[in-house]
């Protein structure tokens, strides 16, 4: 089978190339150049492209670089900015997978005559009796199924995830055994276009108006202030301009229109249901008993889906902390990914 492999320059996609070759596939590597600005997250750099090219050369496969920067700006960066302007907390890594890695890249593969695409994600694609399944990776600590929850049957039928059945240690061991230059390369961290030194403020400041806001308690009394209400996330504790000495307070609501952040105690964040918008499903729309995960490597919370259109309501067995609006809520049944959407 002719496979176009997305090579990030990291160890996972490097080993994925070797595994695909060992399985007899005709492999071509391609690195997507997405973000051209400053980055200290360990991805999207010139060095990453060079690492991918050299690994491809070592394994004897062709390598290309695809310039998708305009698509990345339009489909990931612009929605990220717009979400913050509206007081939401976006998940750009999910949108990058949705719009670039499993849409733009897949369409390019189709245009070039490839049978399938592959990536180094830690998740598994398996064919069942009636449909394709997306399942957690074997290494729960590195599982990336959360950021792939939007994949549908068409995408899954043409996607290979060669390292999903391996632990991270096993991936690195295989890379060392093959003498790959990426064997001990650190994993990329955080959002590629947000620098650790400047943070979200430095990135968003030139792209939108950041406005100061007041911080009020649940009774409406002003108790602090923030330099930019658009940068506050539900659940945030630090940076709220509160006087010290009292019990910890957390942001429980962000209203950009009025420039107001409401704070409360930890228990004020607890909810027993979640409302999820823009749901997508791997297979049939889910219902009944499920588990929901609200962060990439968080705990899966048991609950029940009580409705599925146009909003999904999840009734939880136990209270959990409220999810910041805009964050992904992913629905599982065991290791099986059912789908997901964004928290309201």
| pLDDT confidence band for 52 (50 / 70 / 90) | very high
Domains in the chain, please, with CATH?
2-178 (3.40.50.620), 209-264 (2.30.30.280), 269-343 (2.40.30.10)
Dist CA 165 CA 281 (whole Å) = 23
What integer pLDDT is reported at residue 307 of this predicted model? 74
Annotate 194-247 with DSSP letters as a single string.
Answer: S-TTTHHHHHHTTTS----EEEE-TTS-EEEEES-GGG--TT--SSS-PPSSSS
What integer pLDDT is reported at residue 40 of this predicted model? 53
Contact 289, 306 (CB under 8 A): no
Tallying the residues shown for the chain, one arrives at 344
Which residue, 321, 317, 323, is CA-closest to 304? Answer: 317
Arithmetic mean of pLDDT, 178-196? 90
What integer pLDDT is reported at residue 244 of this predicted model? 76
Kindly list the catalytic residues.
96, 192
Arithmetic mean of pLDDT, 293-300? 94
Which percentage of the chain shows pLDDT scores above 90? 90
Could you count the other beta carbons within 10 Å of the beta carbon of residue 144?
Answer: 21
Encode pLDDT of 241-291 as tens digits. Answer: 898 777 899 999 999 999 999 999 999 999 999 999 999 999 999 999 999
With a cut of 90, say whether residue 195 has pLDDT above it.
no
Which residue, 88, 126, 120, 145, is CA-closest to 330? Answer: 145
Annotate 275-299 with DSSP letters as a single string.
Answer: EEEEEEESSSPP-EEEEEE-STT-P
| pLDDT confidence band for 41 (50 / 70 / 90) | low
What does DSSP say about strands 26-33 and 2-6: parallel, antiparallel, or unpaired? parallel
| pLDDT confidence band for 206 (50 / 70 / 90) | very high
What integer pLDDT is reported at residue 196 of this predicted model? 83
Higher pLDDT: 47 or 25? It is 25
What integer pLDDT is reported at residue 173 of this predicted model? 98
Encode pLDDT of 133-181 as tens digits. Answer: 999 999 999 999 999 999 999 999 999 999 999 999 999 999 999 999 9
Encode pLDDT of 249-260 as tens digits. Answer: 999 999 999 999
| pLDDT confidence band for 293 (50 / 70 / 90) | very high
* Adjacent-strand bridge partners of 66: 32
What does DSSP say about strands 288-293 and 132-136: parallel, antiparallel, or unpaired? unpaired
| pLDDT confidence band for 12 (50 / 70 / 90) | very high
* Whole-number Cα distances in Å, 78 to 34, 41, 138, 168, 295: 13, 20, 34, 33, 22
Dist CA 14 CA 6 (whole Å) = 10
Encode pLDDT of 75-114 as tens digits. Answer: 999 999 999 999 999 999 999 999 999 999 999 999 999 9
What integer pLDDT is reported at residue 232 of this predicted model? 97
Dist CA 28 CA 60 (whole Å) = 9
With a cut of 60, say whether residue 42 has pLDDT above it.
no
Which residue, 203, 237, 165, 142, is CA-closest to 16? Answer: 165
Contact 226, 236 (CB under 8 A): no
| Alpha helices for the chain (secondary structure H) | 11-22, 46-59, 69-72, 78-85, 92-96, 105-111, 153-157, 168-178, 199-204
């Amino acid at each position: 089978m002719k496979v176009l492999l997305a090579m990030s320059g990291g160890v996972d996609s490097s080993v994925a190339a070797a595994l695909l070759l060992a399985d007899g596939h005709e492999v071509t590597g391609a690195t997507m150049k997405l973000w051209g600005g400053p980055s200290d997250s360990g991805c999207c750099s010139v060095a990453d492209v060079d690492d991918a090219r050299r690994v491809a050369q070592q394994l004897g496969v062709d390598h290309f670089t695809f310039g998708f920067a305009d698509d990345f700006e339009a489909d990931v960066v612009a929605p990220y900015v717009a979400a913050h302007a509206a007081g939401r907390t976006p998940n750009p890594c999910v949108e990058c997978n949705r719009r670039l890695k499993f849409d733009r890249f897949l369409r390019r593969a189709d245009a070039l005559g490839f049978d399938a695409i592959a990536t180094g994600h830690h998740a598994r694609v398996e064919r069942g009796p009636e449909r394709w399944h997306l399942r957690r990776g074997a290494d729960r600590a590195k599982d990336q199924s959360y950021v792939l929850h939007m994949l549908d049957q068409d995408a899954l039928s043409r996607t290979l995830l060669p390292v999903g059945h391996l632990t991270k240690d096993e991936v690195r061991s295989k890379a060392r055994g093959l003498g790959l230059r990426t064997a001990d390369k650190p994993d990329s961290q955080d959002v590629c276009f947000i620098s650790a030194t400047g943070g979200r403020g430095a990135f968003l400041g030139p792209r939108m108006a950041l406005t100061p806001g007041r911080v009020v308690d649940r009774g409406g009394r002003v108790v602090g202030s923030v330099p930019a209400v658009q940068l506050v996330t539900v659940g945030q504790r630090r940076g709220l301009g509160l006087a010290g000495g009292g019990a910890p307070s957390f942001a429980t609501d962000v209203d950009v229109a009025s420039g107001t952040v409401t704070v409360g105690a930890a228990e004020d964040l607890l909810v027993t249901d979640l409302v999820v918008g823009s749901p997508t499903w791997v297979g049939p729309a889910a219902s009944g008993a499920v588990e929901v995960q609200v962060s990439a490597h968080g705990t899966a919370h048991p609950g029940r889906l009580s409705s599925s259109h146009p909003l999904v309501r999840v009734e939880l067995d136990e209270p959990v902390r409220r999810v910041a609006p805009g964050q992904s809520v992913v629905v599982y049944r065991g290791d099986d990914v059912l789908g997901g959407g964004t928290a309201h």
